[in-house]
Chains A and B, each alone.
Chain A
């Protein structure tokens, strides 16, 4: 290419080629962007709306990026300084009002469009729940979740979340200590659990399955492990679950511990699996695996292995004084230190005995 033509204005043909390249590259970029599996499964009725919004954002964004890159690369290819041009200057173009108006107006229109779309979508997904919607209270504390709801006039409190599919649920989110964040990625919504106030959102789970609550706000040492299982059940199974947990074995047993009427074994197991909601004691099984109790979390050490050789006194010490000795591979300060204080002596004895018996079963 001769010196003059190369430094001269861009020809019409060149513009056509340039635009064609931009269009093709944009098309490829959009196709690539849309074909990636970005989101986890669509687990709530609003999930597909947010996923569609994302697709729109990709379609709008890719051409902008491709446009900038194309212009930059074209400029470099065509006008880079070649040997012998060391002392050459470009033309003194100071600006072009028309062009500046164009590249102010077009982004303004795009932004306005996106904001309108987002506003409509936001008003749609944050619709106030209808009266009488099932309420689930979600409480975060370092580093576990507690869920409570009322079914058939009875309070149910668990460390795993059970919800029926296809029914709207109003989550009321609170925190006992620092800020946490209640997020089930498959449902697409999240909100902080803020000490002192109640936050929340309403949604309708649309897909049966097992998911996880992921804490999305840094809350301390155990933040990465602050997960809870979510079980979205078909209506019949949910009813069966409600039936099972409202049968007055558990709660009564724990309450009865002070009278010494329930068997020590029942109390121990109940504490291990469900904790003691009235005083805020977390269930051991939320974090620890123990075959006999049927729990399987890996947040804390596996008790079947870790305490299998220990005497009951040592187990008791670990419950009351969890930071004294830390299993290799686990962090100090993750296990709540309040267990010894929120349980009475009989309850601690029962729990210790239950764990001791369970891991020494063989």
Chain B
């Protein structure tokens, strides 16, 4: 037992957490006593301190800092790779430095929060099924939609992309791991802590955090204790996201295989490169905005207190300077996934590869010039609106290039319409709709009428569900064989797609209409005239929710008992498919050399990468791959 308490792991994490809380609270009480102040001050300050400090002690206990601590003390540090790779399911619950293990940890944790957040959406829709009060009171309702959005944005879409990229990106560029494996582990472990903190806010006196995911000041400053949970949790989610992005950038820049020039990188790598730039530059802004709210809340600062000379609109400027780029943080990795899936399943090179890469970079740059389009009715100076409208509309051009290029990639291909491809094609159509309503919203005169209505709710769900979520499903099905070494069930996959596709549209399309008709968002009661549509929406959303259970079942059942996957079931050219499924513990015996583009389908004899030790590739007749690569067991 003593050994368990001193070596990294859950027991020590628990011990450190308890001791840590006691220590920090004792310290604050002691210091206050020394300065002749009331040692307790207020229970709110105790909770705030505990929220800020507990995660650090937990992280230390579970073992995120052991290596660095030894290094900092000048001790000898040997990397024996003891915490690299998973040998049993238990290893997924430990600090692990293997990017593949961390990838799976990321994906599983974020899907857990997706289901929790989705459940909250179901409760929201149950409440809205009819006008008037149904199940929950206003406070709970406001909490439900706030936490629904917060979880799905900060704990699902952003980290699940980081998870998928964590798994496949190092393999794709021929790297044995990420550049900073321990930092990678730390980024992951901050995530569940942030998520749990968000959920715990439901237990806070005065109810959960309930100011919407945008947490506009001064409402968020005046809210009860639950808001502090959000404010602090966002710091951890943000730190996690910055650390991962930094890791991706360094990995991509310094660890590409020989011959892997920037224009030979798969577009998923390009997409994550662009996304990581956005994260590193933009995320500090949301950290700052929440720091300021926290300072106003906890220490009586006046950032957002007009009586003290504070500026309320400043919050929105700082917040959206992150949160607009955040919509691309939540979309660009999906663009990358779609490019991978389409090229492989259409058996054609990506149409206009270079333009695809450049349009990603264009979106990164333009993404920083449009934040105030969320503030057209905020009462800011009127003149800002027109330049912001124009820059916003311009983003439609690189986005349009991407959509048209994907369609052109389909043209004359040999389209294998399996599950990943269905999601990809579904994405193209649904994202086009979301993009169109986005251009409409950029148009100030219209936005004045529809902002803060259900039109906005419809738009963001078309881009984040029809957009990001569809790409996530495409990616999960696509790389499932690589990650698990098993095939998923194709019939269930298709059923999942069709149910989701149909009921997604039935749920969110009518919201455009009721929004323009005048139903504001974030209300738990509404006028009688919207009753019929809301009932239809609620019923559809329940089926939409249920359809995700098919996915869950398919994933669990296939992981446990699916047919064994060959190394390269999709006959893909990119490197991650050239190693076994799942890949060897250190990815490669020797780093492969890249000799061509990643999508040279249809070019006779084309090869993307060659492996030392492997036979020199002769122009294999198409289909040599179907001679079964021995199923690999780990």
Binding site for B on A (CB under 8 A): 7, 9, 36-40, 49-50, 53-54, 57, 61, 64-65, 68-69, 71-72, 75-76, 79-81, 85-96, 99-100, 103-104, 107-108, 111, 114-115, 118-119, 121-122, 125-126, 173, 177-179, 181, 183, 185-186, 188-197, 199, 214-225, 329-334
Contacts and interface: CB of A to CB of B under 8 A. Distances in A.
Contacts of A197: 306, 312-313, 379
Given A88-B622, A111-B394, 9 more contacts: A75-B410, A80-B417, A93-B348, A94-B349, A190-B377, A214-B518, A216-B377, A225-B525, A331-B137
Contacts of A177: 218, 222
A90 B602 contact: yes
A7 B138 CA distance: 59
A126 to B, nearest CB: 6
22 contacts: A50-B448, A57-B446, A72-B428, A76-B417, A79-B415, A80-B416, A81-B416, A86-B623, A87-B571, A89-B622, A90-B601, A92-B601, A93-B348, A93-B412, A100-B405, A103-B400, A118-B444, A118-B446, A125-B445, A190-B377, A191-B379, A195-B218
Nearest to B359: A104
Contact of B407 (A57, A68, A119): A68
A181 B396 contact: no
Kindly name the residue among B210, B414, B517 whose own CB sees the greatest number of chain A CB atoms within 10 A: B414
Given A75-B413, A80-B415, A197-B379, A333 B139 contact: yes
B33 interface: no
A76 B212 contact: no
Contacts of A96: 351-352, 408
Interface stretch (B432-440, B534-542, B607-615): B432-440
Given A71-B407, A89-B348, A94-B351, A192 B378 contact: yes
A195 B312 contact: yes
B67 to A, nearest CB: 45
Contacts of A85: 414
Interface stretch (B116-124, B169-177, B449-457, B492-500): B449-457
A332 B307 CA distance: 27
A181 B216 CA distance: 13
Contact of B520 (A79, A183, A334): A183
Contacts of B563: none
Contacts of B522: 218, 223
Given A89-B414, A92-B348, A218-B216, A40 B518 contact: yes
Contacts of A185: 449, 517-518
Contact of B219 (A122, A181, A218, A224): A218
Interface string B131-143: 0110001110010
Nearest to B214: A218
**7 shortest interchain CB distances as A-B pairs:** A196-B306, A185-B518, A199-B379, A331-B138, A224-B523, A92-B602, A87-B623
Contacts of B445: 49-50, 53, 118, 121-122, 125
Interface in B438-471: 439-440, 443-446, 448-449, 451-453
B250 interface: no
Nearest to B356: A95
A122 B386 contact: yes
Nearest to A220: B219
Contacts of A181: 377, 452
B415 A81 contact: yes
B413 A79 contact: yes
Contacts of B451: 190, 216
Given A88-B414, A95-B351, A38 B379 contact: no
A99 to B, nearest CB: 7
Interface string B343-375: 000111101111100000000000000000000
A114 B439 contact: yes
Contacts of A64: 432, 436
B382 A36 contact: no
Contacts of B425: 72, 76
A50 B400 CA distance: 26
B349 A50 contact: no
B520 A214 contact: yes
B524 interface: yes
A118 B389 contact: yes
B432 A122 contact: no
A57 B443 contact: yes
Interface string B398-429: 00110111011011111111000000010011
B385 interface: yes
Contact of A76 (B379, B400, B415, B517): B415
A14 to B, nearest CB: 12
A57 B623 CA distance: 49
A31 to B, nearest CB: 16
B404 to A, nearest CB: 4
Contacts of B66: none
B428 A68 contact: yes
B390 interface: yes
Contact of A195 (B306, B403, B525): B306
Nearest to B351: A95
A221 B404 contact: no
Contacts of A115: 389-390, 393, 443
Given A69-B429, A194-B313, A195-B218, A223 B523 contact: yes
Kindly name the residue among A191, A195, A330 whose own CB sees the greatest number of chain B CB atoms within 10 A: A195
A38 B516 contact: yes
B70 to A, nearest CB: 49
B291 interface: no
A65 B393 contact: no
B397 interface: yes
Contacts of B313: 194, 197
B112 interface: no
Contact of B525 (A86, A173, A196, A224): A224
A107 to B, nearest CB: 5
Contacts of A92: 348-349, 600-603, 606
A50 B449 contact: yes
B432 A68 contact: yes
Contacts of A39: 449, 516-517
Nearest to A221: B138
Contact of A217 (B408, B452, B622): B452
Contacts of A225: 525
Kindly name the residue among A37, A61, A192, A225 whose own CB sees the greatest number of chain B CB atoms within 10 A: A192
Given A53-B445, A94-B351, A332 B137 contact: yes
Nearest to B455: A38
Contacts of B349: 92-94
Interface in B573-630: 600-603, 606, 622-623, 626
B403 A68 contact: yes
